[in-house]
Amino acid sequence: MLQNYILEQQKKQNQKSDFYTSSGLHVYFKEPLTNDEINVEEVIAKVESVLPHHLRSEVEMIIFGHFKEFEERAINAFYDGGTLYISNVQDDAADLYDDIIHEFSHSLEAPYGYELYGDQKIKDEFLRKRQHMHDILWKSGYKAPLSFYMNVELDAEFDEFLYQKVGYDKLSSLLMGLFITPYAATSLREYFATGFSDFYLYPGHNTLSKVSPQLYKKLLTLQDIEKLDNT
């Protein structure tokens, strides 16, 4: 009984104690995680072991808690100014790992924007998919003009159309094989971020390389940029 009590207290303490990783990343708990089963240090250590150093260099801090942006933007994590803001409400370690990897991707668009988007290949691939998406949804009774699909930026009206009128469950079945996930269809930035997450969550890359070949090629290049710079 005493041993179990000690283990439980240690587990709870792990969710409340701020710490620095070996690479200098500061992890701060504005509020502790609601799921005591998640070992945050293990999850972040896994992230740092998977992502190359140059893809982590923009992030200085991770803060766990609840923030007004979560409700305003219907999200549970975001990146801003060198910091990842991550919800303290997580289903499990895999859910947390996914959120952190995804938000690291958004830290890379400023320093690597030209490498990612300069030749327009990802944008062209995304817009071709959006056009196909328009045709699929139109035939399924969800009618909206093609021009509605041609804005690559996150658009609240388009996002509401997908989320409220069509629904992500329906989108998952209609867009299977076209986008990695329905969320990838919401904007060019999320197309990249969702692909980035998939690239590091599923190292076999079988689905990503088939569904989004141009994005996949860019992610391979992005991963090797530091090697190219050092040659």
If you average pLDDT over residues 157-186, what whole number do you get? 91
Residues sharing a CB contact under 8 Å with residue 64, sequence separation 6 or more, in sequence order: 27, 28, 29, 30, 31, 32, 33, 40, 86, 87, 88
> In terms of residues, how long is the chain?
231
Q: Maximum Cα–Cα distance for the chain, whole Å?
A: 65
Confidence of residue 8 (pLDDT cuts 50, 70, 90): low
Confidence of residue 6 (pLDDT cuts 50, 70, 90): very low
pLDDT digits (tens, 9 = 90+) for 16-50: 689 999 999 999 999 999 999 999 999 999 999 99
Say how far apart CA 216 and CA 224 lie, in whole Å.
Answer: 13
Name the DSSP class of 43.
Answer: H
Say how far apart CA 194 and CA 198 lie, in whole Å.
Answer: 6
Residues sharing a CB contact under 8 Å with residue 201, sequence separation 6 or more, in sequence order: 97, 98, 101
End-to-end alpha carbon distance in the chain: 58
**Is residue 188 a contact partner of residue 152, using CB atoms and an 8 Å limit?**
yes
**Is residue 40 a contact partner of residue 27, using CB atoms and an 8 Å limit?**
yes
If you average pLDDT over residues 5-24, what whole number do you get? 67
pLDDT digits (tens, 9 = 90+) for 62-117: 999 999 999 887 889 999 999 999 999 999 999 999 999 999 999 999 999 999 99
pTM above 0.95, yes or no: no
